[in-house]
Amino acid sequence: MHITSNIRNLEKFLTAFPWAGSQQLTEADLIENVAALPDSRAHVWDLVAAKVIAVGDTVTEDREGHERPLVLNELLIAPLVGRESSLGHSSVLPIEGIVVGSTIDYVSTGGGLGISPDNPPGKGDPSKVRLLGLLCYADGQVAKAQDFAKDLPAADTLKPVIIVVGSKSDVGKTTVCIELLKSLAAAGRQVGVAKASGTAQRMEIEELAVHANEGLDTADAGMPTTYPPSQESDKWAESTHQKSLLALESNLRALSVANEVILVEFGGDLLSASVPEILEDPGRLNIVAVIMVAESATAAIGMETKLLKISPSYASIPYYVAGPTATLRANRNRVERETRCAGCFDLWSKNDSRASQNQQDASTASSQELTRKLLEHCGLGSV
């Protein structure tokens, strides 16, 4: 039995459904333990039992975040999710739900199931699963992904929050985050890190957390994804946005207990995954600085426009530009000339063996300067 990694509170889950911990569980055993009435329907966030019936281009990950292929006839438990991905398989869920017995798609590595409307460039069909039934409690209520959030501590007030947002997926947000985490830690500060949007994958938060005091992502707060079940603006979208905001707030309060500053990476871009809605009130999240990771000067201009559209309050919060567009002086000049950003910083060239020595030295100095500025915004001086 494969219990997907985005069901984070495994102890609580196995207390509720002890049969799921059996290594000898057969399909017949599984069906006996789940609700599989002829007209049973699963909806977004519902935990369901499924069987892999075709192995495609999507893979899964184990409980520690290591990717592995799905196995034909493998039994698994995972949530139904929506997803609007620019790189992977998306998922659109019908409002009326999905009938038990239907064939659906394994759409995300961390464990999301849904209906993929198309294949992204360079990828084939996702792996297929048959929906066997819903996980229900003794009172008949369907178990939800949110039921198995981690039990987290909560500080009364939030520590200073620095957010990292990108112009697109795979633009270098994680690279920038890792550089900032290293620099802040080198300054002697206790830093927490959070992944606040997108589709949760254990490996991604572990990649960040290894450079921080501790790390949490949306699945830790019970949200396997921050995408709505469809790509429409409806009550389901509003509910997803609200749950996503509360999930981040929970993680920030937990990280505020033992850290001096919190770095938050927002997956994807500024257009979807509940990012605009989460960022509507920067004061609520105690955001003191913004790092915009852009692949071009034009992208940086667009990000600034969108950020100020989300909330005019960002005009009074320092925002900086980093990422691919910041590696060349010409691009930095364009960004600083065409935007109101507080600075454009090259954090990458110092690690690029093909960059000139002058570039590497300038990048190191740039990283140190940005770190000093961020600590000032957090009300922290160097130790």
Question: Who's near 271: CB < 8 A, 6+ residues apart?
Answer: 306
Phi and psi angles of residue 133, each rounded to the nearest 5 degrees, phi first = 170, 175
Strands 319-322 and 67-68: unpaired
CATH 3.40.50.300 residue ranges of the chain are 161-377
Q: Which has more pLDDT, 23 or 258?
A: 258
pLDDT, position 383: 43
Band of pLDDT at residue 382, cut at 50, 70 and 90: low
Q: Which two tokens stand for residue 7?
A: 């069901």
pLDDT value at 221 more than 80: yes
What token pair was written down for 181? 């985490």
Residue 174 pLDDT exceeds 70 = yes
Smallest CA-to-CA distance from 180 within 320, 9, 86 is with 320
Helix (H, G, I), strand (E, B) or coil at 286: coil
Q: What DSSP string describes 185-242? A: HHTT--EEEEE-SSB--HHHHHHHHTTSSEEEEGGGGT-SB-S-SSSS-SHHHHHHHH
Is 216 in contact with 254 (CB distance < 8 Å)?
A: yes
Helices in 34-168 by DSSP H: which ranges?
none
Long-range CB contacts (within 8 A, 24+) of 61-66: 61/5, 61/109, 61/110, 61/111, 61/201, 61/202, 61/203, 62/5, 63/3, 63/5, 63/10, 63/202, 64/202, 64/206, 65/5, 65/201, 65/202, 65/203, 65/204, 65/206, 66/203
Reading the block at residue 290, the tokens are 């913004």
pLDDT-based confidence at 35, cuts 50/70/90?
A: confident
User: Across residues 348-353, what is the average pLDDT?
Assistant: 92
Q: Which residues contact 339 (CB under 8 A, 6 or more apart)?
A: 300, 301, 304, 321
Distance CA 159, CA 147 (A): 27
CATH architecture classification, 161-377: 3-Layer(aba) Sandwich (3.40)
> What's the average model confidence in pLDDT over 110-118?
96
Give the distance, in angstroms, between the CA of residue 34 and the centroid of all CA atoms in the same chain.
29
Q: What is the pTM of this model?
A: 0.95
Report the pLDDT averaged over residues 166-192.
95
pLDDT tens, position by position, 141-162: 999 999 999 999 999 999 999 9
- pLDDT of amino acid 230: 78
First to last CA, the chain: 50
**What's the average model confidence in pLDDT over 216-243?**
91
Q: State the pLDDT at residue 235.
A: 86
**For residues 211-229, average pLDDT:** 96
| pLDDT, the chain, mean | 95
List, for residues 249-298, the tens digit of each pLDDT value. 999 999 999 999 999 999 989 999 999 999 999 999 999 999 999 999 99
- Per-residue pLDDT tens for 299-349? 999 999 999 999 999 999 999 999 999 999 999 999 999 999 999 999 999
DSSP state of 147: G
Instruction: Record the tokens describing residue 319, joined without a space.
Output: 């925002």
